Amino acid sequence: MNFIDRVVMENNNLEIHKLANPYYVINVDNTPNKAEQITKYVQAYVEIGSYKTAQYLFVTNLGNKKKMIGYLYLYKHNPNIDWQKRSMGGYQVPGYMR
């Protein structure tokens, strides 16, 4: 699953879609998310360098992060990740690699 922060979604005037069934949210560190449940999603482009794809992003509270890309996206697109340089596909992406 891919996620986008609620504030980022609002600031970019993305078209919002309502989920038929909400998801209850637990953070990566196993704490409850402030948003409590995901009720909306957007379809937006995810761009890494010159590579751009349309993705569904679930709207939630990501704190100081803008987006969170999920395992299935990484598996499908298999970007070149250099963990030591904090880069993906040759492009610096320090916000995603902490």
pTM, rounded to two decimals: 0.75
Buried b (16+ CB within 10 A) or exposed e, 24-63: ebeeeeeeebebeebebbbebebebeeeeeebebbbbbbe
pLDDT score recorded for residue 84? 82
pLDDT tens series, the chain, 98 aa: 899 999 998 898 889 999 999 988 888 788 888 888 999 999 988 877 677 888 999 999 888 888 888 888 878 877 777 788 777 765 555 444 43
Q: What string of DSSP letters covers 34-82? A: EEEEEEEEEEEEEEETTEEEEEEEEEE--TT-SEE--HHHHHHH---EE
Q: What are the structural domain ranges in the chain?
A: 3-96
pLDDT score recorded for residue 58? 94
